[in-house]
Amino acid sequence: MVFSSVTFLFYFLPIFLACYVLTPTVAAKNVVTLLFSLVFYAWGEPRFLLILLFSIAFNYVAAMLIDGRAGISRKWALAVAIAGNLLVLGVFKYANFVTGNFAALFKPLGFDFGQTNIELPLGISFFTFHCLSYIIDVYRRRFRANSDPVDVALYISLFPQLVAGPIVRYKTVARQLDRRRQTLGRASVGARIFIIGLAQKVLVADMVAPLAQVAFDHVPHRSLPEAWIGLLAYTVQIYFDFAGYSNMAIGLGIVLGFTFPRNFNLPYTSLSITEFWRRWHMSLSSWLRDYLYIPLGGNRGSDLATYRNLVTVFVLCGVWHGANWTFVLWGVWHGAFLVVERLGLKRWLDRLPVALRWLYALCAVMGGWVLFRAADLATAGDYFLSLFGLNGAGDVSFDMHDALSERAIVTLALGCAFAVLPRVWPRIKAPLVLRAVGDTTWTFALLVFSMITVASGAYSPFLYFKF
């Protein structure tokens, strides 16, 4: 089920909120939310619900065992728990990739091993990271294991952030599982954030998506203008698609009384790749820092060890996003930029005008998006050639011409502006009353236009659902 669908907006969400509001106690609300979360997850592919339920049960038992042991037995319990989670993730997300590469490697030698064809469960990367952070923090004595299976199940499967984040730590919501502050004012704030996220998805991301789709999927050996139009469209699409989902999740969480971490902070205004990763998918960045980079040694060792740790973390970040060599190279791409900035590029950049530093960071990010979006390495390589005009600098194809509607062009321009202007917007002075009225009016207008678009549009899943 998708937040930006008729089923969710007109049926699931109203029914859930009615049941939630009419339920008297927090404990009962937890049961109601858990049941609706399981229905939400099972809606499209019911068989994958068994995997989610297994992860919940496995990690509930694992946390209790880790919490109840001491010494070396705690380490063994943690090791088994981590291995179990990674095994489930590995089988369902990476088995096809491994067997496919293995078959391709030995096929020239006359061996035909075949390969697996395992479907990817929705959101498995996200709920696996929730599980891992929970058991690791129990091991670190950050908190005691929760003995209430409903609370643990709700933390792992809470539907607003279940399938595409933000990645929520158990400590963040631990108290809110038993005590939640719910007021009309908080519900109003949450609803406004949800509406903004919905508009980001259906009024911006979905409108420019055809441009990126044509450039990356439909046009072989695209021309220079086609390549840059498609890349700019995908740069806008992935930001507003993922930030839109995160805002919808955060808004729903506030309505329910939960506080989820902020996931984006105007990443396209960054002046370096180091700053970009402090602003993009911040819940993932902090997760990788606390559970991978620091345990590997962080920057506590030699410079060479620090560089190794950075590249390792970002290669694994790429692999986490998808089982494809393009994602591996995307991780290498960002890891390499971080290393080069630490080697001295950042100090040199700091002496340049802000506009040039911003242009450097944006071009580096967009170059990474080519690897992230391309179906395979050959497509990525051909796309880079097109960006430099080596596949022709002529007119756009018929497919791109059809996709370049006035609405798409205007939306692309507005998307580019909205991705950077909010950093300047708070400086614009206006009477508080007028600003409040303006915000309310614009929010209502966004809701109306978004609902009309959803009701008249086709199914459009969020990009991060496949990760």
- Tell me what pLDDT residue 77 has: 92
For residues 97-106, give the mean pLDDT: 82
pLDDT tens digit sequence for 184-232: 888 889 999 999 999 999 999 999 999 999 999 887 788 899 999 999 9
Report how far residue 97's alpha carbon sits from residue 433's, in angstroms, rounded to the nearest whole number: 56
- Tell me what pLDDT residue 426 has: 55
For residues 446-454, give the mean pLDDT: 86
Pick the more confident residue, 37 or 457.
37
Report how far residue 111's alpha carbon sits from residue 104's, in angstroms, rounded to the nearest whole number: 9
* pLDDT category of residue 40 using cuts at 50, 70 and 90: very high
For residues 57-76, give the mean pLDDT: 89
- Tell me what pLDDT residue 383 has: 93
Counting residues of the chain whose pLDDT is more than 70, the rounded percentage is 93
- Tell me what pLDDT residue 452 has: 86
Q: Do 195 and 251 contact (CB within 8 A), yes or no?
A: yes
Mean pLDDT of the chain: 88
Tell whether the model's pLDDT for residue 240 goes beyond 90. yes
- Tell me what pLDDT residue 332 has: 96
* pLDDT category of residue 390 using cuts at 50, 70 and 90: confident
Residue 231 DSSP SS3: helix
For residues 87-111, give the mean pLDDT: 84
Closest by Cα among 345, 338, 348 to 299 = 338
- Centre a 10 Å sphere on the Cβ of residue 372 and count the other Cβ atoms it contains: 23
Q: Give me the catalytic one of 130, 281, 321, 334.
A: 321
For residues 240-253, give the mean pLDDT: 93
For the record, the structure tokens of 102 come out as: 């293995």
Which residues, at least 6 apart from 110, have a Cβ–Cβ distance to it below 8 Å?
Answer: none
Asked if 321 is an active-site residue, the reply is yes
pLDDT tens digit sequence for 311-333: 999 999 999 998 899 999 999 99
* pLDDT category of residue 434 using cuts at 50, 70 and 90: very low
For the record, the structure tokens of 198 come out as: 């919905």
Tell whether the model's pLDDT for residue 382 goes beyond 50. yes
Closest by Cα among 138, 183, 191 to 447 = 191
Pick the more confident residue, 128 or 345.
128
Closest by Cα among 62, 36, 54 to 154 = 36
pLDDT tens digit sequence for 12-23: 999 999 999 999
- Tell me what pLDDT residue 459 has: 57
Pick the more confident residue, 431 or 140.
140
- Tell me what pLDDT residue 424 has: 60
Tell whether the model's pLDDT for residue 252 goes beyond 50. yes
Tell whether the model's pLDDT for residue 454 goes beyond 80. yes
